[in-house]
Amino acid sequence: MTTRPPLPPFTPETAAVKVRLAEDAWNSRDPDRVVQVYTPDTRWRNRAEFPVGREQVHAFLVRKWRRELDYRLIKELWACDGARIAVRFAYEWHEDSGHWFRSYGNENWEFNEHGLMTRRFASINDLPIRESERLMHWPLGRRPDDHPGLSELGL
């Protein structure tokens, strides 16, 4: 089986690394890349969707990034214990109509001994914003190391 370090049990330091790796993967907006960090039988809750397994997660991500254009995400470690990590996040995106949103939320993650995520439970709220209110300004892809995180942005 594939191993995805860092592995549980997590310390605050190793959990922060895991969170940044997840942020980087999601900012790639590449479903093929993202699904590789989940177990084949992963179980999710994302708003009103409950995908099970990599195939359903992949389909979910394809739909998500077709709708959520110019997606930029910042994740921040909230807490960790053993094989579990709690994360808070915000991301900005717009619809094809040009309307911008900032989506806020929390995720609870559980990992197996190989560092693959077995469960992901997300709670998300969307806030309509004006383009002039955007806070996440970097070229699409990985957030630069010198770009402020959630706490620095006051989020």
53 assigned to some structural domain: yes
Tell which residue, 55, 38, 44, has the closest CA to residue 111.
38
Tokens 């892809």: give the residue: 141
Into how many domains does the chain fold?
1
Give residue-wise pLDDT tens across range 51-92.
Answer: 999 999 999 999 999 999 999 999 999 999 999 999 999 999
Q: Is residue 64 part of a domain?
A: yes
Local confidence band at 1 (pLDDT 50, 70, 90 cut-offs): confident
pLDDT number for residue 53: 98
C-beta separation of 122 from 44 below 8 A? yes
Is 2 inside any structural domain? Answer: no
Region 112-126: mean pLDDT is: 98
Q: Which domain range does residue 71 map to?
A: 12-135+146-153
Q: What is the CATH number of the domain that holds 70?
A: 3.10.450.50
Task: Judge whether 120 lies within some domain.
Answer: yes
